[in-house]
Amino acid sequence: MQKAKRHSIEEPAEIRSRRFQGLEIDPFSVMVYSFVLLRMNDLRGEFKRMANTILIGSQWGDEGKGKVIDVLTSKADWVVRYQGGNNAGHTVEIGDQKYVLHLTPSGILRPGVKCVIGNGLVVDPVGLMAELQELEGRGIDIKDRLFISDRAHLVIQYHKELDGAKEAKLSTGKKIGTTKRGIGPAYSDKADRTGLRMGDVLEDDFETMLRDRIAVKNALLAVLDTEPLDADGLVKTCTEALDYLKPFICDTVPMLNAAVRDPEQNVLFEGAQGVMLDIDFGTYPFVTSSNTGAGGVPAGAGVPPHCIDEVIGIVKAYTTRVGEGPFPTELFDEDGKQLAEVGREFGATTGRPRRCGWFDAVVARYSAQLCGIDRWALMKLDVLDGFDTIKVCVAYECDGKRVDTVPASISKLSRCKPVYEEFKGWNSSTCKAASFDELPEQAQKYVRWIEELTGVPVSVLSVGPKRSSTIELKV
């Protein structure tokens, strides 16, 4: 990844000369001159692709972000998580080693890459400690490489208990399909301004703050017919984990703002879940509790929007989702079973089987529109190797009318039926292809078809779970 120097346009000589002579210059004229120079330089090709990059899931999560992030981190200096919690997992396979990361940025597997857990996350300290200790036990050095925002909120055991208790009270058809990791209740406390943050851990009265909240939450649990938590035991468990994490807690805003402005530094912002689980733009209420799209980066990492240079969207060559909620292209036949079995479609965090369906171009276009996606990383093309016929959803039909975007109404989306176009399969392996030209001709055509339907080029293509099973395309 390469980054041009920001704000490095020189003033026109005449303006610079007059300024040095102490004359007043019309600010609007300076702005116009600067814009013209910027545009001219751009047209001359003097500005190379810059490298503050957002990588996001563009379906319902589980698209294979961990692998792509791992590949891209070979060029990154920083990898930053900006939203979510340990309700999502990234699986990375390196050689014969398999790593499943829930809170730790995937860059931790690349020596020398600095990793940030941003303010937009909700952090389970017990879970994070276990994750980091496992990494250390496997020889991964995290010292002076991991930084946890002091503004990130904590997930405490009472959040998990409330998460499960509330879900249990919902009737069939209204259950969200929560992972019961306490994510929703933790974000609720954040919005209610009653949450605890990582920075609070460094205060002398943290135990008092924690005990006060345990008392309040135990009262809520009683209303939900759930056993109260043992305050002393919970305080002890939290304290032990937080004592381990204290050396990593800091103000991450200055370091990240310095990095995104440094032309020698490449920063990769790593999303969790997918755009269709975004709290605002996803299939609400069957969503997560944070902004999963590109718009979540400025608020969740503390960097200005204009410092973002590129957005890469991750999509599978088909579609999956975990949990409840509408899923227009979901398959209940042998094709669906084949996608699940060949694709090993089980959640990295929960182990739950994923629901499988054909590629949904409506969803992909919607995500590209919302997030300004510049290019795709198309994952798991190899899973389609054994199909005679492949279908792609190009639109929906609802109540007799064609629908070309994702409706906000969950009732309307539930009534949407996929409008399919069929594509002849290639019935041969793509797994050993080292370049685009080595793919079967029909597989190449399928990739180009996805590009045409979505209006976004494919620049990364995955044909297997290993680092080496990745093809980079020129766009």
In sequence order, the 6+-apart residues with CB closer than 8 A to the CB of 51 are 1, 2, 3, 75, 76, 266, 267, 309, 310
Q: What is the mean pLDDT of residues 84-106?
A: 84
* pLDDT surpassing 60 at residue 453: yes
What amino acid occupies position 13? A
**Strand (E) or helix (H) holding 319:** strand 319-321
* pLDDT surpassing 80 at residue 70: no
* pLDDT surpassing 50 at residue 212: yes
- Give the pLDDT of residue 349: 60
Per-residue DSSP letters for 406-475? Answer: --S-HHHHHH-EEEEEEEE---S--TT--SGGGS-HHHHHHHHHHHHHHT--EEEEESSSBTTSEEE---
For residue 1, name the pLDDT band (cuts at 50, 70, 90). low
* Catalytic, out of 7, 26, 42, 62: 62
- Give the pLDDT of residue 398: 97
* pLDDT surpassing 70 at residue 161: yes
Per-residue DSSP letters for 185-224? Answer: HHHHHHHTT---BGGGGGSTTHHHHHHHHHHHHHHHHHHT
- Give the pLDDT of residue 24: 43
Residue 90 is a catalytic residue = yes
CA distance 253 to 343: 39
- Give the pLDDT of residue 65: 82
Question: Which of 168-172, 359-363, 457-461 bottoms out in mean pLDDT, i.e. has the lowest?
Answer: 168-172
Question: Which of 168-182, 375-389, 441-455 bottoms out in mean pLDDT, i.e. has the lowest?
Answer: 168-182
For residue 466, name the pLDDT band (cuts at 50, 70, 90). confident
CA angle 95, 138, 84 (to 5 degrees): 90
- Give the pLDDT of residue 14: 41
CA 272 to chain centre: 3
What does the radius of gyration of the chain's CA atoms come to, in whole angstroms?
24
pLDDT tens for 223-255 read 999 999 999 999 999 999 999 999 999 999 999
Q: What is the mean pLDDT of residues 36-50?
A: 37
- Give the pLDDT of residue 435: 94
pLDDT tens for 370-421 read 999 999 999 999 999 999 999 999 999 999 999 999 999 999 999 999 999 9
DSSP 50: P
* pLDDT surpassing 50 at residue 13: no
Domains of the chain: 1-45 (no CATH), 52-118+252-472 (3.90.170.10), 153-248 (1.10.300.10)
- Give the pLDDT of residue 44: 33
Asked if the bond preceding 12 is cis, omega within 30° of 0, the reply is: no
- Give the pLDDT of residue 369: 97
Write out the E strands in 271-316: 310-316
Q: What is the mean pLDDT of residues 1-14?
A: 42
Read off the tokens for 318: 């088909």
For residue 28, name the pLDDT band (cuts at 50, 70, 90). very low
Residue 437 is a catalytic residue = no
In sequence order, the 6+-apart residues with CB closer than 8 A to the CB of 427 are 385, 386, 387, 388
* pLDDT surpassing 80 at residue 271: yes
Mean pLDDT, the chain, as a whole number? Answer: 88
- Give the pLDDT of residue 72: 84
8 Å CB contact between 249 and 199: yes
* Catalytic, out of 70, 90, 189, 360: 90
Answer with the residue of higher pLDDT: 216 or 48: 216
CA distance 392 to 58: 16
CA 51 to chain centre: 17
* pLDDT surpassing 50 at residue 94: yes
pLDDT tens for 277-290 read 999 999 999 999 99
- Give the pLDDT of residue 348: 61
- Give the pLDDT of residue 252: 98
Q: What is the mean pLDDT of residues 326-342?
A: 96
pLDDT tens for 103-134 read 999 899 999 999 999 999 999 999 999 999 99
- Give the pLDDT of residue 428: 95
